[in-house]
Amino acid sequence: MLNNKTSAFTFRLQNYLVKGILIILSSFFSFSIFAQKNESLAKTPPMGWNSWNKFQTSINEDLIKGIADSMIKDGYKDAGYTYIILDDGWMSMQRNKQGDLVPDPQKFPSGLKALSDYIHSKGLKFGIYNCAGDKTCAGYPGSHTYENQDAKMYAQWGVDYLKYDWCNTKDLKTQDAYTIMGNAILATKRPMVFSLCEWGISAPWAWAGNIAQLWRTSGDIYPCFDCEKRYETWSAWGIMKIVNMHQDIRKYAGPGHWNDPDMLEVGNGMSPAEDRSHFALWCMMSAPLIMGHDIRNASSETVSILTNKAVIAIDQDSLGVQAFRAYQKDSIDVWAKPLANKDWALCFVNTSSQTKDLNFEWHLNPIIDKDFDYTLNLTGVILAIKDLYNNKIIGLTKKPLKASIAPHDVLIVRLIKTKE
Ligand code: GLA
C-alpha cells in the first residue's frame, strides 16, 4: 500500500517536473506544440468598434474618445459592444532607442495609457493593432523579433485585444509567427483577445483554435452587396462574396474560437436593406461584430440595425453554432442556425434586384444540420415565427411562411415554442 502510494507520488512528481521543464523551454523557444491561449475569453463572438473601415490611418485621441462616448450615449454598449480597437496608423514611424513602439505624438499627445484609462473608465475595453512582419500594411513598425517587448508594452497600456496582421512577412510561416505572438501575450499574464488577420491564406481555422480567439477568413471587406473592388495587387470583397468564401468552414467555429469574415460595413454607404442583410448574415454566421462606421454621426436607421438585441442574440447565442445555407432557390438564400434553447434562427436573403415573394413550405424544406447533428423537428410541434427586425410574430409553422422581400433585403426570424 505504502509502496503504491509512494510510487504514485513519485510518478506525479516526475510528471510535474517534465511538464514544468517543457513549459519553461517552450516559452524560450515558442514551440508551436505548446501554444495555448486564455480559454476564458470570447465565449461568444467579440463585439466592438475598429477604426479602419471608416478612418484608415486618420485617427487621433479626440476621435477615439468621441467614439467611446457614443458607445454609451447611443446604446451600443448596452447592446453588447465592448472593444474599441485602434487599427493601423497609431504609431510613430520609428521605434525609440530602447526599441519600444511609440504612439504618434501628434495623434495621441496624451499617450495610449491615458486613452486606455479613458476607455476603461467607461466600462469598455481597449484593443490595438500590429503586424507579424517588419512593417504593418500601412508601413509602420511591425512586431517581427519584437514580439515579447511589444506584448509587455501592450500589457502596460492595459490592452485587452490584439489584432495581428500579415503584411511584410517575407518568408515567415503563419503558424510559427502567430504562435510566437500568442505566447508573448500569454507571458504578460494580461488577458487579451488574439485576433489573427492573415486573410485565410493558410487556412487558420485548421490550426489557430488553440492560440487565437478569432481569425480572418478572407481578404478585406468592401461596402457593397456583391462586388469585387480591385486594387493594384489585391481585391476587397462585397458582403455576398465574403459570405460565399466563408460558408464551408463552419465546423471550425465555436465558443472561444471564431471564423471572422471581417469587420462590419453597416452605416458605410450601402442601402438600409443591404445593411440589414449584412448584419443579419454576420449574426447568423456567429461572426465577431466589430463595427466600422463613424458611430458619432450615425443615422437612426444604422443605430437601430446595429443595436437590435433580438438579432444580436442570434450572434451571441451560447451554443455558438455558425449557420449553414440550407437552400438557395429563386434568388432567395435560406440560412439556418440552431440555438442553445432549442429554438432556431432562419434568415431569408433576397440576393436579386427584384422584390421576391417567399412561400416557404416547411414539410418540403426540412432543416437538417449535418455538421453538428441538429434537426428542426416540426412533427407534432407548432412553432411561432418571430420577425426579429420588426419584432412581431408573423405566423406559425403549421402554415407556409409567406412574405415579400425587397431587393437585397432580408427576413430574419426566430422559431419559438408555442403552446398551441
Ligand atoms: C489589412 C487588414 C485590414 C486593416 C489594414 C491596415 O488590409 O486586412 O483589416 O487592418 O491591413 O493596414
Provide the annotated active-site residues.
Answer: 165, 220
Whose CA is closest to 342, among 318, 325, 359, 315? 318
Q: Identify which has the larger pLDDT, 211 or 248.
A: 211
The pLDDT value recorded for residue 5 is 39
If asked whether residues 214 and 254 sit together in one domain, one would say: yes
Q: What is the pLDDT of residues 170-227, one digit of tens each?
A: 999 999 999 999 999 999 999 999 999 999 999 999 999 999 999 999 999 999 999 9
Average pLDDT, the chain: 93
In short, whether 138's Cβ falls inside 6 Å of ligand 1 is yes
Q: Where a domain ends, among 315, 337, 355?
A: 315
If asked whether residues 368 and 240 sit together in one domain, one would say: no
Does the pLDDT of residue 60 top 60, yes or no?
yes
Residues with Cβ within 8 Å of residue 159, at least 6 apart in sequence? 116, 126, 127, 128, 190, 192
Minimum-distance ligand 1 atom for the alpha carbon of 219: 8
Q: What is the rounded end-to-end Cα distance, in angstroms, of the chain?
A: 64
CA of 137 to the centre of ligand 1 (A): 6
Residue 156 within any structural domain of the chain: yes
Question: Of 131, 168, 220, which is best to mutate to test ligand 1, by the most ligand atoms within 8 angstroms of its C-beta?
Answer: 220
**Are residues 193 and 175 in contact, defined by beta-carbon separation less than 8 angstroms?**
no
Provide the H-helix boundaries in 131-290: 147-157, 174-188, 239-246, 272-284
Residue 25 within any structural domain of the chain: no
The pLDDT value recorded for residue 418 is 85
Give the mean model confidence (pLDDT) for residues 236-265: 95
Q: What is the pLDDT of residues 301-343, one digit of tens each?
A: 999 999 999 999 999 999 999 999 999 999 999 999 999 999 9
Minimum-distance ligand 1 atom for the alpha carbon of 138: 12
- Neighbouring-strand partners of residue 403: 358
Q: Which three cell numbers, joined as nine digits, stand for 342?
A: 432549442
The pLDDT value recorded for residue 11 is 39
If asked whether residues 342 and 307 sit together in one domain, one would say: no
If asked whether residues 295 and 328 sit together in one domain, one would say: no
Whose CA is closest to 369, among 246, 274, 279, 247? 247
Residue 36 within any structural domain of the chain: no
If asked whether residues 272 and 347 sit together in one domain, one would say: no
Residue 9 within any structural domain of the chain: no
Q: Which three cell numbers, joined as nine digits, stand for 115?
A: 486613452
| Number of separate domains in the chain | 2
Q: Which amino acid is at 240?
A: M
DSSP E strands in 266-417: the ranges are 289-291, 324-329, 332-338, 344-350, 356-360, 368-369, 374-375, 383-387, 392-396, 401-405, 410-417
If asked whether residues 202 and 347 sit together in one domain, one would say: no
User: How far is it, in rounded angstroms, from Cα 255 to Cα 134?
Assistant: 32
CA of 242 to the centre of ligand 1 (A): 16
pLDDT-derived band at 420, boundaries 50, 70, 90: low
If asked whether residues 304 and 368 sit together in one domain, one would say: no
Which residue's CA is minimally distant from atom 12 of ligand 1? Answer: 137
Residue 138 within any structural domain of the chain: yes
Q: Where a domain ends, among 294, 315, 336?
A: 315
In sign, the C-alpha dihedral spanning 215, 221, 225, 227 is: negative
- CATH number of the domain at 81, please: 3.20.20.70
The pLDDT value recorded for residue 170 is 97
State percent of the chain over pLDDT 70.
Answer: 91
If asked whether residues 149 and 71 sit together in one domain, one would say: yes
If asked whether residues 105 and 215 sit together in one domain, one would say: yes
Residue 21 parent element (H or E): helix 2-29
If asked whether residues 220 and 367 sit together in one domain, one would say: no
Q: What DSSP character marks residue 205? A: G
Q: What is the pLDDT of residues 361-397, one digit of tens each?
A: 999 999 999 999 999 999 999 999 999 999 999 999 9
- From 30-39, 259-268, 277-286, the region with the lowest mean pLDDT: 30-39
Q: Where a domain ends, among 276, 296, 315?
A: 315
Does the pLDDT of residue 281 top 60, yes or no?
yes
If asked whether residues 273 and 204 sit together in one domain, one would say: yes
Residue 22 within any structural domain of the chain: no
The pLDDT value recorded for residue 382 is 96
Residues with Cβ within 8 Å of residue 108, at least 6 apart in sequence? 60, 61, 90, 115
Residue 226 within any structural domain of the chain: yes
Domain that holds residue 305: 47-315
pTM check: above 0.85: yes
Question: Of 49, 88, 167, 245, which is best to mutate to test ligand 1, by the most ligand atoms within 8 angstroms of its C-beta?
Answer: 88
pLDDT-derived band at 111, boundaries 50, 70, 90: very high
CA of 165 to the centre of ligand 1 (A): 7
- CATH number of the domain at 400, please: 2.60.40.1180
Does the pLDDT of residue 408 top 80, yes or no?
yes
Residue 167 within any structural domain of the chain: yes
Does the pLDDT of residue 20 top 50, yes or no?
no
In short, whether 260's Cβ falls inside 6 Å of ligand 1 is no
The pLDDT value recorded for residue 36 is 86
Q: What is the pLDDT of residues 116-174, one digit of tens each?
A: 999 999 999 999 999 999 999 999 999 999 999 999 999 999 999 999 999 999 999 99
In short, whether 87's Cβ falls inside 6 Å of ligand 1 is yes
If asked whether residues 358 and 391 sit together in one domain, one would say: yes
